[in-house]
Chains A and B, each alone.
Chain A
């Protein structure tokens, strides 16, 4: 349908400037808002934001939990390597008896 022949759903005295891609209704310039490169009416925009935000927040939380797990795994690996290196040192170095042997 031709846009120029349509009227705004809210302001009937105004000509339509855009059609909301979600509810398929016509609106004037004041009644639409750009959201992610689409012109949406206020009610559809509200629904989109309300639906998108928790999903994004959940995704961010999930990513953060994975990052924390990786971080703790890295820290564990570092200290595990330190422990293994300490175990490689012979006992006579730990108790200093190698120095006595050197003196003899």
Chain B
């Protein structure tokens, strides 16, 4: 386990982990997050433009909450797959009993983050620990009784590294958001300039300041960056757990055993 790893090195390792991750990781992540983001976008559009928004609000909020529960469950399974890709060994999460245990714990605990995280943002300092706690809970799954306590303990590990990672991720969030804005805003005008396609989007620029569009772009940014954040927390959790289990050393030894020439007597 490397405690000397900088925040930037950790992000690089997470990117490498995502590059080598199996396709199931992306399938599970998209299968959970895309329906949730679509239902959230649909909800925001309805609440902003529909005449019957006031009467539909509570029923539509139930659907979004269900989609949120669905997304959190699949994100936890996606993290299990990432742990498998990183460590090479993980308990089988695909057993129906384990799936139900993980899903139910995610539904029970993750919604707290919807309120606790913005509160932590207001208090500035604990936001890193709080965000890391909820990400760790996604990584560990929560099927075991000790997972909640362990998530908090792992969230407090290596605070310097955490701060750097969150600073860099916030910067990345901003860059991705601006990129998405640039692509979205320029596409209709490019279509008009290059292909002569004119639409209501090119007649006025006021649609760019629509709150719903801003929310959609923020959701798209979250969709892109959150998987990287999850990969980072998978590495941090595995390394943190290795402090007490020594799993990382066993993994490295296994690697030496499989390498050509290693451990061979002449």
Q: Which A residues contact B (CB, under 8 angstroms)?
A: 64, 67-68, 70-72, 74-76, 78-80, 82-84, 86-87, 89, 93-97, 99-100
Q: Secondary structure at chain B's binding surface: helix, strand, loop or mixed?
A: helix
Instruction: Give Cα A87–Cα B48 distance, bound, in whole angstroms.
Output: 6
* Distance, CA A36 to CA B208, complexed state (A): 67
In the bound complex, residues from chain B placing their C-beta under 8 Å from that of A87 are 47-48, 53-54, 57
For B108, the chain A residues whose CB sits under 8 A away are 64, 67-68, 70-71
CB–CB B44/A72 < 8 A? no
- A68-B107, A72-B65, A76-B65 known; A89+B112 contact, CB < 8 A: no
Is B48 within 8 A of A78, CB to CB? Answer: no
Q: List 20 A-B contacts (CB under 8 A).
A: A64-B104, A68-B108, A70-B108, A71-B111, A72-B66, A74-B111, A75-B65, A75-B69, A78-B111, A79-B64, A80-B57, A80-B61, A86-B44, A86-B212, A87-B53, A87-B54, A96-B209, A97-B206, A99-B206, A100-B206
| Cα of A37 to Cα of B143 in the assembled complex, Å | 29
Pick from B43, B104, B111, B209: contact of A75, CB under 8 Å: B111
In contact, A71 and B206 (Cβ under 8 angstroms): no
Q: Nearest 5 CB-CB pairs, A to B? A: A96-B206, A67-B108, A75-B65, A75-B111, A86-B47
- Knowing A64-B104, A80-B61 are in contact, say whether A93-B211 is a contact too (CB < 8 A): yes
Please measure, in the bound complex, the distance between the C-alpha atom of A67 and the C-alpha atom of B208, giving whole angstroms.
41
Chain B residues in the interface with A (C-beta under 8 A) = 40, 43-44, 47-49, 53-54, 57-58, 60-62, 64-66, 68-69, 104-105, 107-112, 114-115, 204, 206-212
Return the contact of A94 from the options B49, B62, B65 (Cβ within 8 A).
B49
Find out whether the CB atom of B211 lies under 8 angstroms from the CB atom of A94. yes
**In contact, B111 and A83 (Cβ under 8 angstroms):** no
Asked if B61 contacts A94 (CB within 8 A), the reply is no
Q: Which one of B66, B105, B211 lies within 8 Å of A86 (CB-CB)?
A: B211
Distance in Å from the Cβ of B62 to the closest Cβ of chain A? 6
Please classify the interface of chain A as helix (H, G, I), strand (E, B), loop, or mixed, using the class held by over half of its residues. helix
A-chain residues with CB within 8 Å of residue B111 when the two chains form the complex: 71-72, 74-75, 78
Chain A positions within 8 Å of B61 at CB level: 76, 79-80, 82-83
Q: Would A83 and B43 be within 8 Å (CB), given that A68-B107, A74-B111 are in contact?
A: yes
Cβ–Cβ contact A79 & B43, under 8 A: yes
Could you tell me the distance between the alpha carbons of A78 and B68 in the complex, rounded to whole angstroms?
Answer: 11
The listed residue (B49, B53, B54, B69) touching A72 by CB distance below 8 A is: B69
CA distance A89 to B40 in the complex (A): 17
* Contact present for B47 and A74 (CB under 8 Å): no
Q: Using Cβ atoms and an 8 Å threshold, which residues of chain B touch A93?
A: 211
CB contacts (< 8 Å) of A64 on chain B: these are 104-105, 108
The reply to whether B68 and A75 contact each other, CB–CB distance below 8 Å, is yes
Smallest beta-carbon distance A68→chain B, Å: 5
A87 to B210, CA, bound (A): 13
Q: Report yes or no: A72 in contact with B107, Cβ–Cβ below 8 A.
A: yes
